[in-house]
Amino acid sequence: MGRPRAVDEIERTGRAVSTRNLRIIMNGVTGRLGTNQHLVRSLLAIRREGGVRCQGGVVLMPEPVLLGRNPDKLKQLSVAHGGLEWSTDSEACLADARNEIYFDVSATVGRRERALAAIAAGKHVYLEKPIAGDRDEALAIARGAQAAGVRNGVVQDKIYLPGLQKLRKVIESGALGRMLTVRLDFGWWIFDGALHPSQRSSWNYKRAEGGGLVLDMFPHWRYIVETLFGTMTSVSCRMATRIPRRIDERGEPYDVDVEDEAFATVELDGGVTVQIASSWVTRVRREDMLTIQVDGTDGSAYATLHRCFLQPLAATPRPRWDVDVFQDNDHLAKWQEVPSMDPYLNSYRMGWELFLRHVQDGSPFPSPLISGARALQLVDACYRSHAERRWVDLPELSS
């Protein structure tokens, strides 16, 4: 496991560091995402490795406080990880002055009320996406946090994936020249529960429970696109429900009332056009379940979750189009792989470390809650575009 970072810091600088314990209410971490990514691979991993170093020699040591509705699940999770503190009493957790951060990875439905209660209690707030059910709810949270003066943020994990970090380096190097178009292709086959159990919980297919492909995934697409390529200015979207009936976890059939496929075209402020294909009803025949290709005047780049490839202008081949004779061209072999130059941490953990430093010393945090509101603005615009069969503008939002 290695030695704690604080010990290494003392030996490296000869200067003692101070450790500050930071208690974090974690609401909803008994679910798969909360347990695996936010608790085990983020905060507990940070604790094992000696905390997060901040300005002035301070080392932050996160102390999770598990919050939820099911005492059995909470106790089981607590015992599995060394006896973490847990509670089913939200009001008591918020009233406890020792708890400084409120984190929510529970159901999207009701997140606005939970977040506003935490803000009213003076807690710093970190929320999973989507931070609310629509843009207006999200703006209420973002503006509430701004007015209260609490540190705030939304999880934007995908931008820290190794493949996207490599793509960002390629773009920043100028190797692509002037960017022209972007294609984002996402999805895989989600079983309906008849032949095999579904890989997604049934709530994902129920509007009343916060389901829907656009609400679930398009918040990711907004921050990925705007971090890498430019600001979204307008969107045109079409969506569909391809499998209208599914079988839930109890073996009971139910009607699907949300979309499971969506296609969007997005215009950016610099003139770049982005094509987004998202589907829970497609079978993967490409490099990964998420791929992004950006074409520029001086080259093209292609990123997956973990890898990135480059084809510069000087090495661009001239493929032959022949409808009469099969051309055995290995197009994939003509791309250069971008090497892994740095070690990559878990993408959720990277966001947590940035947010903890933001709470401690005000270090910049790239995704405040207004970013979460911008994500919901895109979601709302996609639904409106589909309903009205037209382009919808995305004006600037402010907290």
* Distance of alpha carbon 124 from alpha carbon 268, whole angstroms: 32
How many beta carbons lie within 10 A of that of residue 399, not counting itself?
16
Q: Place 67 in a pLDDT band, splitting at 50, 70 and 90.
A: very high
Tokens of 307: 């890898």
Rounded CA separation 107/211 (Å)? 10
Amino acid identity at 333: A
Residue type, 253: P
Question: Residue 208 — very low, low, confident or very high, per pLDDT cuts 50/70/90?
Answer: very high
pLDDT at 3 (0 to 100): 45
Mean pLDDT, residues 221-246:
98
For 321-341, what is each residue's pLDDT tens digit?
888 988 888 899 999 999 998
CA distance 50 to 41: 14
Q: What six digits make up the tokens of 370?
A: 């207004």
Which residues neighbour 154 within 8 Å (Cβ) at sequence distance 6 or greater? 126, 127, 128, 129, 131, 367, 368, 369, 371, 372, 375
Say whether 107 sits in a helix, a strand or coil: coil
Dihedral sign (CA 130, 143, 118, 123): positive
Is CATH 3.40.50.720 the classification given to domain 5-158+348-368?
Answer: yes
Q: Provide, rounded to the nearest whole percent, the portion of the chain with pLDDT above 90.
A: 91
CA distance 151 to 146: 8
In the structure, what pLDDT confidence band is assigned to residue 320 with cuts at 50, 70 and 90?
Answer: confident
Positive or negative CA dihedral for 8, 9, 12, 17?
Answer: negative
CA 178 to chain centre: 27
3-state DSSP call for residue 308? strand
Give the pLDDT score at 399.
Answer: 74
Q: Is 40 helix (H, G, I), strand (E, B) or coil?
A: helix
The mean pLDDT of the chain is 95
DSSP 3-state of 236: strand
Residues in the chain: 399
Q: Which two tokens stand for residue 268?
A: 């950016």
Summarised one tens digit per residue, pLDDT across range 27-51 is 999 999 999 999 999 999 999 999 9
Residue 299: name the closest of 385, 151, 171 by CA: 171
Q: What is the pLDDT of residue 12?
A: 55
- Which residues face 184 on adjacent strands? 276, 292
pLDDT at residue 7 is higher than 50: no
Rounded Cα gap, residues 267 and 29, in angstroms: 37
For domain 159-341+374-392, say whether CATH 2.40.128.520 is its number.
Answer: no
Q: How far apart are CA 207 and CA 360, in angstroms?
A: 38
Give the separation between CA 297 and CA 11, rounded to whole angstroms: 50
Question: 11 pLDDT exceeds 50?
Answer: no
Q: In the chain, what are the domain boundaries?
A: 5-158+348-368, 159-341+374-392
| Structure tokens belonging to residue 245 | 């009936």
| pLDDT attached to residue 244 | 98
Kindly tell me if the per-residue pLDDT of 9 is higher than 90: no
